Each structure stands twice: as C-alpha cells, then as structure tokens.
C-alpha cells in the first residue's frame, strides 16, 4: 500500500515557569529574590529525510509532543530546555494545517530542517522583577504554552521515477513486475488511464517510488491522447525511464518513437527534457535481428539498456541504473509551492477576547483569550498576587466589560475558579 497522506497532531513543549524564590543566607533574614528563569519548551522540527520514501511511518502515530521546559529554581538556576522532536518526512512532503488546509511547509530539499512549531519561552524568574520599590517581588512569569496543531502531511512527490513511452510498449507490465502495483495490462493502446504508483525495493537499504504514466503520442503536449494531463506529474519525478518497443510489433519505427516522445517532453517544458533519462528497449524476446539494438544506439548516439518483461531479462539492470541515477540527482525546488509563509504560526486558535457569563444570579464568570494571556504570562502568588492580578485585569478593561454585562456592587466575580466580591 502506498500512503501519500497522513494526519498527525504535533505539539511543541511548554516553557517552564520562572521561579519566585528568595535567597536564604545565614544571618540574613530576608535575602533578595533569586528565582531563575524557566527553560524553553522543545520545538517541533521537520526534517526532509532522503532515506524515507513514504508516509507509512505516520500510519500509527496520532500525536508527537516535544518536551516541556523545566521550571526555574532558586539560586538563579535556569530550568532545563525541553528536548525538540525531529519529525522525519520524505523529501517532497507538503505540510498543511488540517483545519484550514493552509500550506505551512514544503519540504522539498533533501536534509532541510525547518521549525514548524516553536516551543514556548520559559517564564522569567523573580530576579528580573526587582526594583527599588518592590524589594521582594513574589512574582515570576509562567512559561508560555507550546502550540498544538493538527496537520496533514501530503507526499506531493508523485514518484522518483516516471515510466514514459508510446502506448503498449510495456510500461504497465514493467511496473507490475518490479513493484506490488497492479496496473492493467492489455494489448490495446491507452490501457492505462491514470498514473499508478509502485514502491520498488532495490535492496535492503534502497527503495524508490515509480509511476506508470499513460502512454504518450505525438501532440501529447497539446492535449492529444491522454498525455498533457500527466506530463506535469512527470515534472516532479527525478528520473525518467523511457521505454521503447524494439520489436516494432505495432508497425512504428523504434527510433522515430524515441525522438517523438522526447520531442513531446521538450515541447511541454525544457525542464522535462533535461531530466536524466534511461532508455530501455523492451520486448527483446520478440526481436529476431539483434543488430537493431546497435543501430538504435548509433542513431541516438547513446548506450541503451535492453529487457524483456515477459521473459524476465534485463529488469534488474534497469532498476539498478535508476537507483544509481536517483542517488546522483538532487530534488529541484518546486516553484508552484514557493509562495510560502516563512513564519507559520498565525494558525493558533484564539478564543473570543472576553467571555462574561452570569452563571447564576449575581455571579459573573470572566474568561476568554485575554484572561488566558494574563494568566499565561504571570504567576500571581499570595495576596500580593491576587491584588496584582485584579489590577492588571482592571487595566485592560475588565470593569467596563462587567458593567456592560450588568454587574452590581456586591455581586460575585469568578475568574479561573477564584471568587471576588465586586466593589
Ligand atoms: N513479447 C512481449 N510482450 C510484452 C512485453 N512487455 C509487455 N508486453 C505486452 O505488450 C502489451 C502492452 O503492455 P502494457 O504493459 O499494457 O503496455 P503499456 O505501455 O502500459 O500501454 P498503455 O497503458 O496503453 O500505454 C501487452 O499485451 C503485454 O503483454 C515483453 O517484454 N515482451
Ligand atoms: Mg499501461
């Protein structure tokens, strides 16, 4: 089975909280604040790994989480940073936001590493909050939360290798032989109507994806036959196996076939005609005049490989040659997907800023993104902290919101489980 789409939830680590601690020294009753910063949460990093060909690995993975940063501690100790998670994907994988389908990353360069989700920053310890008025601050920041995002991985790279050639030269027969693909084989033209993919295992280490492409004919680049629709798929492959029927059983000239197909590739795009190409003469079981092979090579001024899919000759050589070429061919940048957002994270869901609900008569609950932001930013400790918190909330407009919601003197206000009397 060839999976070219997977869904996985990723989460970067939370930053560790800053510490609100105080120095304790012999003979010093109240030492100064000495709480260290929290560590940074781990990032989710995507790596385009040229040794992976499919998204099969993600089939059983639902969620990947980077580690959280540790909290800061006393004696100005900074918390440990959370470990990153490196997610290895095949080269050519496109990553989209699952909800919006927005393109986040196009991993089209081998060994490229990109940070998809940044870990939350650690909170600052109370050593940073010392000033001349507030000598012993019991405040420290909490770490920023990591980001959780459900993403869709798509392996846009159709295949490493494309099989091209006239109809009925044996492309489908070949892919069926070298992979688990089951492509329809028949003696009439245009048997194959859609590209078909197969995984080719070359040896214990190497494998590649091969695509059976519908047959091309003269004029394919202008839309004659089935051709033009699929030429763009070929554009994303790195190596072309050009199969020619040397038996000429269909009554065409093999040499002419070769030139015509290459003409079509070139007319479609310069890029296509420059792809490394392996020329393979098929159906040698039906070739009674071996000199035709030499003749062909001379005409095109290039060495070719020969095979018979039917009698199992020369197949391994074609696969090895393709594998060798793949190893020497870099992936190209894919222009259509170039308009990428460099930094990727406006996708974080936000709640409404203020949510004020009268949960029972004269009891108002305050929540929303604004509250989250404040609570995420600071740790409020003790009585000091509560007053501080209410002050911050008032400064950013809570009172007006409460009044608009109908709060009266003496009512109860609930925030994050804490109750206050409204005065
Ligand atoms: N004698 C002989 N016949 C072959 C060989 N390879 C394929 N054929 C036959 O050629 C015919 C066409 O084979 P396909 O594999 O369907 O050809 P194709 O290139 O996929 O054709 P389209 O999908 O129409 O483009 C079938 O009847 C095959 O059995 C071979 O090596 N020797
Ligand atoms: Mg076919």
Tokens of 17: 């909280």
| Residue in the block written with tokens 């693909």 | 181
Lowest average pLDDT, out of 96-105, 193-202, 253-262, 328-337, goes to 328-337
Is any atom of ligand 1 closer than 6 Å to the C-beta of 282?
yes
pLDDT given for residue 192 in this prediction: 80
In 3D, which of 203, 204, 205, 169 has the Cα closest to residue 187?
Answer: 169
User: Quick one: 63 exposed, middle or buried, by C-beta within 10 A (0-12, 13-18, 19+)?
Assistant: exposed
Give the Cα separation of 200 and 175 in Å (integer).
9
Give the Cα separation of 4 and 16 in Å (integer).
37
Q: Kindly report the protein residue whose alpha carbon is nearest to atom 9 of ligand 1.
A: 170
Is any atom of ligand 1 closer than 6 Å to the C-beta of 53?
no
Neighbours of 121 (CB within 10 A): 18
Tokens of 154: 């798509």
Is any atom of ligand 1 closer than 6 Å to the C-beta of 306?
no
**Kind of pairing between the strands at 113-117 and 148-155:** unpaired
> Following DSSP, what letter does each residue of 274-301 receive, concatenated?
TS-EEEEEE-GGG---THHHHHHHHHHT
Give the Cα separation of 415 and 80 in Å (integer).
31
pLDDT digits (tens, 9 = 90+) for 312-322: 999 999 999 99
**Pick the residue with more confidence: 115 or 353?**
115
Report the separation in Å between the CA atom of 51 and the middle of ligand 1, taken as the mean of its atom positions.
32
Is any atom of ligand 1 closer than 6 Å to the C-beta of 172?
yes
Is any atom of ligand 1 closer than 6 Å to the C-beta of 196?
no
Tokens of 353: 């800023």
Is any atom of ligand 1 closer than 6 Å to the C-beta of 215?
yes
> Following DSSP, what letter does each residue of 90-109 receive, concatenated?
ETTEEEEETTT--EEEEE-S
What is the pLDDT confidence band of residue 8, given thresholds at 50, 70 and 90? very high
| Residue in the block written with tokens 């927005």 | 102
Q: Best of 170, 183, 314 to mutate for ligand 1, by most ligand atoms within 8 A of CB? A: 170
Atom of ligand 1 nearest to the CA of 185: 16
Q: Best of 164, 172, 196 to mutate for ligand 1, by most ligand atoms within 8 A of CB? A: 172
Give the Cα separation of 7 and 86 in Å (integer).
16
**Pick the residue with more confidence: 387 or 282?**
282
Give the Cα separation of 340 and 113 in Å (integer).
15
Atom of ligand 1 nearest to the CA of 307: 31
Give the Cα separation of 274 and 284 in Å (integer).
27
Torsion of CA 227, 229, 230, 233, to 10 degrees: 150
Is any atom of ligand 1 closer than 6 Å to the C-beta of 173?
yes
pLDDT given for residue 63 in this prediction: 93
Give the Cα separation of 314 and 305 in Å (integer).
8
List the beta strands (DSSP E) in 323-374.
355-360, 363-367
Tokens of 130: 């010392």
User: Quick one: 83 exposed, middle or buried, by C-beta within 10 A (0-12, 13-18, 19+)?
Assistant: middle
| Cα maximum dimension of the chain | 105
pLDDT given for residue 345 in this prediction: 29
Using an 8 Å Cβ cutoff, are 9 and 131 in contact?
no
Q: Kindly report the protein residue whose alpha carbon is nearest to atom 21 of ligand 1.
A: 168
Report the separation in Å between the CA atom of 283 and the middle of ligand 2, taken as the mean of its atom positions.
15
Report the separation in Å between the CA atom of 348 and the middle of ligand 2, taken as the mean of its atom positions.
46
pLDDT digits (tens, 9 = 90+) for 66-92: 999 999 998 889 999 999 999 999 888
Quick check: 308 pLDDT over 80?
yes
State how far the alpha carbon of 18 is from the alpha carbons of 12, 142, 377, in Å: 18, 6, 10
In 3D, which of 255, 141, 259, 157 has the Cα closest to residue 199?
Answer: 157
Is any atom of ligand 1 closer than 6 Å to the C-beta of 7?
no
Using an 8 Å Cβ cutoff, are 294 and 302 in contact?
no
Give the Cα separation of 294 and 303 in Å (integer).
9
In 3D, which of 99, 43, 39, 33 has the Cα closest to residue 66?
Answer: 43
> Given phi > 0 = left and psi -120 to 50 = alpha, else beta, which region is 235?
alpha
Crossing angle of the two packed helices 171-178 and 315-327, in degrees rounded to 10 = 80
Q: Kindly report the protein residue whose alpha carbon is nearest to atom 2 of ligand 1.
A: 283
Using an 8 Å Cβ cutoff, are 114 and 107 in contact?
yes
Q: Best of 168, 179, 213, 307 to mutate for ligand 1, by most ligand atoms within 8 A of CB? A: 168
pLDDT digits (tens, 9 = 90+) for 197-240: 787 888 888 888 888 888 888 877 777 776 566 776 677 788 99
pLDDT given for residue 236 in this prediction: 72
Report the separation in Å between the CA atom of 199 and the middle of ligand 1, taken as the mean of its atom positions.
20
pLDDT given for residue 337 in this prediction: 31
**Ligand 2 ion: residues within 5 Å (CB):** 171-172, 191-192
pLDDT given for residue 377 in this prediction: 66
Q: What angle do CA 147, 150, 152 make, to 5 degrees?
A: 135
């Amino acid at each position: 089975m060839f999976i070219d789409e997977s869904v996985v939830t990723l989460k970067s680590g939370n930053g560790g909280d800053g510490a609100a601690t105080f120095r304790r020294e012999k003979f010093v009753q109240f030492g100064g604040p000495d709480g260290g910063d929290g560590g940074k949460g781990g990032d989710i990093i995507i790596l385009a790994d040229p040794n992976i060909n499919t998204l099969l690995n993600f089939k059983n993975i639902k969620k990947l989480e980077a580690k959280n940063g540790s909290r800061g501690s006393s004696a100005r100790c900074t918390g440990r940073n959370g470990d990153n998670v490196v997610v290895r994907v095949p080269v050519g994988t496109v990553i989209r936001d699952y909800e919006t389908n927005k393109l986040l990353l196009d991993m089209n360069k081998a060994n490229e590493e990109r940070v998809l989700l940044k870990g939350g920053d650690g909170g600052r310890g109370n050593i940073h909050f010392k000033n001349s008025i507030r000598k012993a601050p019991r405040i420290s920041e909490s770490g920023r939360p990591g980001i959780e995002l459900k993403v869709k991985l798509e392996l846009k790279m159709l295949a490493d290798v494309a099989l091209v050639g006239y109809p009925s030269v044996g492309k489908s027969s070949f892919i069926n032989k070298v992979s688990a693909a089951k492509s329809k084989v028949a003696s009439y033209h245009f048997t194959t109507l859609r590209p078909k993919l197969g995984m080719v295992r070359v040896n214990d280490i190497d494998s590649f994806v091969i695509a059976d492409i519908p047959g091309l004919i003269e004029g394919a680049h202008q839309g004659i036959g089935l051709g033009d629709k699929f030429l763009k798929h070929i554009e994303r492959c790195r190596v072309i196996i050009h199969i020619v029927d040397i038996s000429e059983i269909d009554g065409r000239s093999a040499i002419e076939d070769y030139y015509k197909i290459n003409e079509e590739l070139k007319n479609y795009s310069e890029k296509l005609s420059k792809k490394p190409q392996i020329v393979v003469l098929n159906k040698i079981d039906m070739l009674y005049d071996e000199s035709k092979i030499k003749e062909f090579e001379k005409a095109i001024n290039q060495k070719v490989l020969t095979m018979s899919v039917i009698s199992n000759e020369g197949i391994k050589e074609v696969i090895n040659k393709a594998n060798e070429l793949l190893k020497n061919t870099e992936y190209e940048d894919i222009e259509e997907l170039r308009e990428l957002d460099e930094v990727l994270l406006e996708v974080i869901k936000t709640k409404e800023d203020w949510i004020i609900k009268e949960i029972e008569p004269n009891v108002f609950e305050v929540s929303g993104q604004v509250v989250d932001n404040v609570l995420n930013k600071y740790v409020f400790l003790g009585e000091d902290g509560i007053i501080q918190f209410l002050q911050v909330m008032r400064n950013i407009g809570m009172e007006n919101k409460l009044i608009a919601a109908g709060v009266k003197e003496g009512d109860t206000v609930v925030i994050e489980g804490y109750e206050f009397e409204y005065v």
